[in-house]
Structure 1
Amino acid sequence: MITATPRPAPPQYELSAPLRHELPEGMPTVRAAREEDAAALVALSRPFVRSGALRERPPSLYAAHAADFLVMDVPGSPLEGCVGLRVHPAEPAEGREEGRGAAGVLYNFCVAGHRQGRGVGAGLLRAVLAVAHAKSLTALFTATTGGGDLFLRYGFAPADARLAPPSWTRSLDPRRNARILARHL
């Protein structure tokens, strides 16, 4: 007899009561993205790409890395927001007593224009922090070309690029003049 191990359902994250009351279309949830969300992730990101706030990514990348993303989903509506979390494994010590623990990088964080300032970004950030804790990450990093106010309110602070995962810092486009923010967990 051949049996298959069932895959667990993607996690969903409950939102605070005030946000629930602001979105009458249905119960909003933060959930793990699925491969079939790729087109919606592209559509959600498009205005931020046009403004220069995000780098353009092909739909195939969103599909291939769907597991990186948490999305704000309201039944019957387009996605309200998304954030990617890429985990970088622990690094061996290089001239230090001990190596760095596994770290996460937040990327492609965006909220639909009509939902900005209504708690969607905060809900996504709280959910991604919970995921980072569950994965025992030691720090989270992000790069922003904007003010980063939401990140700062949630304990992120400007950080030296040398503290971030090297493969990620090498991938940053210096012409974008992004500011690196970090939060130690």
Structure 2
Amino acid sequence: MIATQEQFVDWLRSVAPYIHAHRGKTFVVAIAGELIAAGRLNALVQDVALLTAMGVRIVLVHGFRPQVEAQLREKGVGSRYSHGMRVTDEVALDAAQEAAGQLRFEIEATFSQGLPNTPMAGATVRVVSGNFIIARPVGVIDGLDFQHTGLVRKVDAPTISRALEYGAVVLMSPFGYSPTGEAFNLSMEDVASSVGAAIKAEKLVLITEVDGVIDAEHNLVPEMTVAQAESLLSRLPDPQQPTDTAFYLRHAVRAVRGGVTRAHIIPYALDGSLLLELFTHDGVGTMIADEHLEHLRQATADDVGGILQLIEPLEEQGVLVKRSRTEIERDIANYTVLEHDGIIFGCAALYPYPEQKTGEMAALTVHPSAQGQGDGERILKHIEQRARALGLQSIFVLTTRTMHWFIKRGFVLVEREWLPPDRRLRYDDQRRSRVLVKHLS
């Protein structure tokens, strides 16, 4: 029981930085129709409701490819595709309208549930939908008339933003309307990326039938810059179906180029993939951003809260010496932080002793969710670079539990008498820390 309680506390602490980072932000979440056809709508709605309870503003865009296919089969009509788009004749338009109407009611009903012992218990999630999209026809391409297939021309961003400020989830179907009242069948991806860019959303999350971007060795690529994604797209053939890598990737790139901060491609087949992508360090799909999201830098006053959240659990366990907010604020220039997507995942401080040509590295910490990936070593190397820049010839650490980690990285054990005189006076006899030194070449 105690172990379970500790695991719960550790987990809650680990997601706290994400909760702070996401509160008040706007996310556009696009769900493929295949997710609904697979019976996963209920779980997805519960996850979206949880996000709204945390203060995240949600625009939900649904797809309906399999539902339209089902409607057409009932009518005894086949589907026609070209250039990766459905050719929407009168029959296909009628099938799309029927499918969209049914899905809208199903989604709204799911948001209205409030069963006890579920994430929806006590939740009041209002859903707003409307004619937020002005569309234009695709027209004729290579001699083929796409008829009622359209593209987004304009998004009513002010109205969507007002609905979000009211606290509602904005639900959007892949339909748009012309000024003359014509209806056009749009793609979920076009609507989602266009809306994300128009309202300058923090994130676009495409929940799809693909795992993300897969590299030549069949490994998932967890993160790409826009430049890397565009380079990959230039080498891939034009997508013809949603399972093609380029199909979702090009819309993700378009959204980021349009002002969306991050775009994510994640699988619907993994239960809870939306939460796993948003609340874990590595996520479960592929994230596209304008630049690399992880970097080491010198800390600033704005980082004090993040550093405190990172080191407090280790202070409570006795691994680190307790430091007050005042101490960290005073010494903030000594700290190096490892930041990923705006969240601090690691830190360390360097306290120089110029007369002895050495410096103490203190508070080396890596968040549990990011351990085992070499981040601790990266921070250490950065501290070594800072020490060399200050003309120091060595760095030392005092540790009670991680001696072997440092020894593996070139530190040697010395007696405490080795310490600079000022530091020796502040040695805590009760902690009985080991002193390890690394000489810098």
Could you tell me whether the CA contact under 8 Å between 2:354 and 2:392 is conserved in 1? no
- Aligned with residue 122 of structure 1, among 355, 361, 377: 377
State the distance in 1 between where 2:393 and 2:282 align: 34
2:328 is the alignment partner of 1:62: yes
State percent identity of aligned pairs.
25
State the distance in 2 between where 1:129 and 1:138 align: 10
2:307 is the alignment partner of 1:52: no
2:350 is the alignment partner of 1:85: yes
Alpha-carbon shift at residue 149 of structure 1 (Å): 2.8
Runs of 4+ in 1 over 4 A off after TM superposition: 20-26
Higher helix share: 2
Alpha-carbon shift at residue 27 of structure 1 (Å): 2.3
Counterpart of 2:437 in structure 1 is 182
Structure 2 residue runs of 5 or longer lacking an equivalent are 1-222, 225-280
Aligned partner letter, 2:353 = H
Counterpart of 2:306 in structure 1 is 40
- Aligned with residue 173 of structure 1, among 428, 437, 440: 428
- Aligned with residue 359 of structure 2, among 104, 118, 121: 104
Whichever of the two has the greater Rg, that structure is 2
2:400 is the alignment partner of 1:134: no
Aligned partner letter, 2:335 = F
State the distance in 1 between where 2:347 and 2:423 align: 19
State the distance in 1 between where 2:404 and 2:347 align: 17
Aligned to 1:175, what secondary structure does the other structure show? coil
Alpha-carbon shift at residue 150 of structure 1 (Å): 2.9
State the distance in 2 between where 1:38 and 1:181 align: 27
Count of residues paired in the alignment: 156
**Greater relative CO, 1 or 2 (CA 8 Å, sep 6+):** 1
Aligned to 2:381, what secondary structure does the other structure show? helix
How large is the RMSD of aligned CA atoms in angstroms? 2.0
Taking structure 1 as the reference length, the TM-score comes to 0.78
Aligned to 1:117, what secondary structure does the other structure show? coil
Aligned partner letter, 2:351 = R
State the distance in 1 between where 2:430 and 2:344 align: 30
Aligned partner letter, 2:293 = M
Aligned partner letter, 1:60 = T
Aligned to 2:344, what secondary structure does the other structure show? coil
State the distance in 1 between where 2:405 and 2:348 align: 13
Taking structure 2 as the reference length, the TM-score comes to 0.34
Structure 1 residue runs of 5 or longer lacking an equivalent are 1-19, 91-100
